[in-house]
């Protein structure tokens, strides 16, 4: 995530670099595109969610490789990977605060380096997602066996659960009407299903 933050902030700064005079508009547009685009990509990944984190592991490298392609395309297919900055006319009068020479600014950035940072972030996310996926255990969905064992002298005693029987509560209670009982139980968020049973234990 640290690599990811590094890549995002650097790309953001690079994108705003030629927009000095209208950097506020540029930043808001950038925020809109990243949030809206992120929501769309996130929705696509959520669409293939299958209960594991595998879609995330797949979903991270795919947009990242597309971003890599965009970086390469933006750098004009130059095999050196260098981005050449073209300042639009609106910012012609703006002086870059870090500008020390024209050449230094013209070829300030190495897209390949940025790509490596990007790939590192993606790899970290993918590895994390796969590790999490391996930690996900399927649910058993059946009841656990019910027994308890204890030694009594030399005897080994195992208490075995046969289950639980629903008995008619109202038949066991004295000096209370079924309505009062129901009210008292409802107060504790309990409800009875009345059942008759001829031979309580």
Partner 1 sequence: MEVSVNAFLINTGPKLVLVDTGDAADMEGTGHLQENLKAAGYDPAQVDEIYITHMHGDHNQRTHHQG
> Whole-number minimum distance, CB 139 to partner 1, in Å?
19
Cα 38–43–45 angle (5° rounding)? 95
Q: What are phi and psi of 152, to 5 degrees?
A: -120, 100
Among the residue ranges 45-53, 60-68, 93-101, 156-164, the one whose residues contact partner 1 (CB under 8 A): 156-164
Distance CA 107, CA 103 (A): 6
Q: Does 149 participate in binding partner 1 (rule CB under 8 A)?
A: yes
Q: Which of 92, 103, 154, 175 binds partner 1 (CB under 8 A)?
A: 154
> What DSSP state is assigned to residue 147?
E
Residue from 146, 177, 183, 186 binding partner 1 (CB under 8 A): 146
From candidates 155, 188, 191, 196, binder to partner 1 by CB under 8 A: 155
Distances from the Cα of 186 to the Cα of 32, 124, 171, 176, 192, angstroms = 52, 52, 18, 15, 9
140 binding partner 1? (CB under 8 A): no
Q: Which of these ranges, 12-20, 39-47, 66-74, 147-155, lies near partner 1 under the rule CB under 8 A?
A: 147-155
Other C-beta atoms within 10 Å of 16: how many?
Answer: 16
* Binding status of residue 88 toward partner 1 by CB under 8 A: no
Figure out which of the listed residues 103, 156, 175, 188 binds partner 1, where binding follows CB under 8 A. Answer: 156
CA distance 133 to 57: 9
Q: Could you list the residues that contact partner 1 (CB under 8 A)?
A: 143, 145-147, 149, 154-169, 172, 192, 199, 201
């Amino acid at each position: 995530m640290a690599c990811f933050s590094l890549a995002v902030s650097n790309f953001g700064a690079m994108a705003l670099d030629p927009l000095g005079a209208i950097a506020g508009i540029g930043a808001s547009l950038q925020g809109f595109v990243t949030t809206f685009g992120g929501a769309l990509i996130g929705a696509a990944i959520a669409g293939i969610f299958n209960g594991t984190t595998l879609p995330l592991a797949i979903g991270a490298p795919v947009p990242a490789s597309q971003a890599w392609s965009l970086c390469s395309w933006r750098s004009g297919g130059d095999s050196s990977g260098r981005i050449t900055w073209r300042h639009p006319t609106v910012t012609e009068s703006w002086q870059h605060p870090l500008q020390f020479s024209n050449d230094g600014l013209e070829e300030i950035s190495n897209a390949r380096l940025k790509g490596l940072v990007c790939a590192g972030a993606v790899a970290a996310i993918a590895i994390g997602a796969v590790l999490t996926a391996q930690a996900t255990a399927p649910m058993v969905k059946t009841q656990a066996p019910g027994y308890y064992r204890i030694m009594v002298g030399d005897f080994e005693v195992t208490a075995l659960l046969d289950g639980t029987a629903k008995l008619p509560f109202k038949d066991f209670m004295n000096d209370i009407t079924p309505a009062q009982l129901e009210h008292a139980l409802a107060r504790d968020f309990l409800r009875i299903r009345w059942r008759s049973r001829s031979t309580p234990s």
